Structure 1
């Protein structure tokens, strides 16, 4: 199935026909194997493959210290390679921990990639997965929230190509259009409100934190995210009116199989490494059954219909402009991952989009969607 192409620029600031269809992305954590001599090249091939399948966007997890086996601490070189290896698909960071970097240098790197890709970059920006080792970075400051807002201010200033105060040089190359393709990644409601006031997009993580990581808390976590989207849209509309358009991206794990039992059996085997690792960190209860562990991780599985129903039962999905799917935390080869991505885009996504359209039509408009 071939899906409609993205325009060259996704611009949440415009008043275009956002919400006319559900945009769909795919995310990789670059965790398919441990051979660093080829993991990056393999994932370039993965992105080329999902572009051919018709996905709107490709997202890469960016994490320091090999956290969760995510093998990409810095996205810039990889995104440059992806930009010249593809022609249509949008390229996103999920998310770039700007609190640890020099914001002017970030602006320079992002601007180069955006021009190189033909304005296909989607800049997901965040604070990074918490670590007790972040103090090794010279730019680190323990006030993560305050630092994040300050970095975004500097980033915006630099992307406009402004002249340096007290100097004669200007930041180059400018990429002011990238302001419309920035997305704040945060679970903190104040940071979400700040993103709305700033007029940028919002990107939501796939799983909860702490006490939310239990089977019983899964639906409550999803409801909390849905409530945060409603609040984001409220503050956005209050601040900007019709001058800018809010844009919400939601990430979810979705593992398809020929039957729901087959999907569970396969996922149980291929996620065993991750579940053992998460249990050691106290993120999963090893006494739970494998299905319960998956639910704790907000991991959905099933045949296409069951998987679509599970995704549509999540109230956040109806509020989302772009749904980013992935099969993490399972360990599959690139070819196996591409096959799962094919099943998702060809068999699961049409069912999800049908329900997504119905939910938004019932609500009247994308911005008017509410949750019970």
Structure 2
């Protein structure tokens, strides 16, 4: 991994129960991350508390974050686009981008959970088709195209937001053709170096026709000292992924092997630094986004993990903060 990248964190807004405290804790985590000098913070969308993720409406929470922060970029990693009305998503995103002074990074994906597609009345097997249709409508709205015969257009305007779109997909040539950023994470069904190959394919397909640079957001889970609760959370996560048909194969009896397959980094700081250095090279336009929470992680432990990343891990990888931490 080369230096000069941006540093971010990912919160899946996990909580073992439907306690609104999880939203207040997430707001606090963003404030702490900004004070530490993190460049971006990202939240994931989960409907019906799948995986114990408690955030079905990422843009609503990020609007609250926008009013409590000033500099940190606000990312969605990801919004399940086939389940969203594209024009309504464009309107909400445009308002949030104005509120945050252009800090929104809009990450999109096709989703994977069959149970949530059923609840939305969508076909899970048609999610990639629906994704392409919804993305086309979203881009038309964000690009100020007329939406009716009479010339209705998106209001408020989303100036610049179409250049801050990210896609999480293995169809990287399409992402490059559209000029969007690529969100990539470890795939338990691919070899460890698959991520590097994916990024290389994306960069090789890049044309730059829309005037934006190629950009990669590398997402990685990182737990400096996973305790028993963290390990139990990860086991439960894998068991659910097995049940819904996403995780193929048995859970290895050696739990460290399971963590390695999932791409979850843990252990001494130097060991995690070396593991991160083995991944795809990142440039000044790219982001390293680290997840530091499972369902049972208390806020204080998440904050301590961000401090370790800020003080020891990110600088060892070549990251430099743009401002002075407060």
Show structure 2 runs of 5+ residues with no match.
320-326
Relative contact order: is structure 1 or structure 2 higher (C-alpha 8 Å, sep ≥ 6)? 2
Cα deviation, residue 67, structure 1? 2.0
Alignment of 1:301 onto 2:266: yes
Provide the aligned length of Structure 1 versus Structure 2.
Answer: 312
Q: Encode CA deviations 1:152-178: one digit per residue, 9 max, x unaligned.
A: 221111113333322353221110300
Alignment of 1:274 onto 2:234: yes
Contact 1:268 1:290 in 2 (8 A): no
Using the alignment, how far apart are the partners of 1:337 and 1:141 within structure 2? 34
Deviates more, 1:77-86 or 1:30-39: 30-39
Using the alignment, how far apart are the partners of 1:307 and 1:155 within structure 2? 38
Report what 1:246 is aligned to: 214
Cα deviation, residue 107, structure 1? 0.3
Q: Aligned pair in 2 of structure 1 residues 231, 109: CA closer, same or farther (>3 Å)?
A: same
Using the alignment, how far apart are the partners of 2:210 and 2:75 within structure 1? 26
Deviates more, 1:80-89 or 1:287-296: 287-296
Cα deviation, residue 140, structure 1? 5.3
Alignment of 1:42 onto 2:12: no
Report what 1:362 is aligned to: none
Cα deviation, residue 151, structure 1? 1.6
Alignment of 1:208 onto 2:168: no
Contact 2:114 2:124 in 1 (8 A): no
Using the alignment, how far apart are the partners of 2:240 and 2:151 within structure 1? 54
* 1:1-372 correspondence to structure 2 within 5 Å: 21-138=4-121, 142-186=125-169, 188=170, 191-205=171-185, 207-209=186-188, 211-212=189-190, 220=191, 222-236=192-206, 239-240=207-208, 243-256=211-224, 263=225, 266-279=226-239, 281-282=241-242, 283=247, 285-314=250-279, 316-318=280-282, 321-329=286-294, 331-353=296-318
Show structure 1 runs of 5+ residues with no match.
1-18, 213-219, 257-262, 355-372
Using the alignment, how far apart are the partners of 1:144 and 1:35 within structure 2? 28
Deviates more, 1:31-40 or 1:342-351: 31-40
Using the alignment, how far apart are the partners of 1:247 and 1:281 within structure 2? 29
Q: Aligned pair in 2 of structure 1 residues 340, 234: CA closer, same or farther (>3 Å)?
A: same
Using the alignment, how far apart are the partners of 2:143 and 2:94 within structure 1? 10
Cα deviation, residue 280, structure 1? 5.2
- Bigger share in helix: 1
Q: Point out 4+ residue stretches in structure 1 off by more than 6 angstroms.
A: none
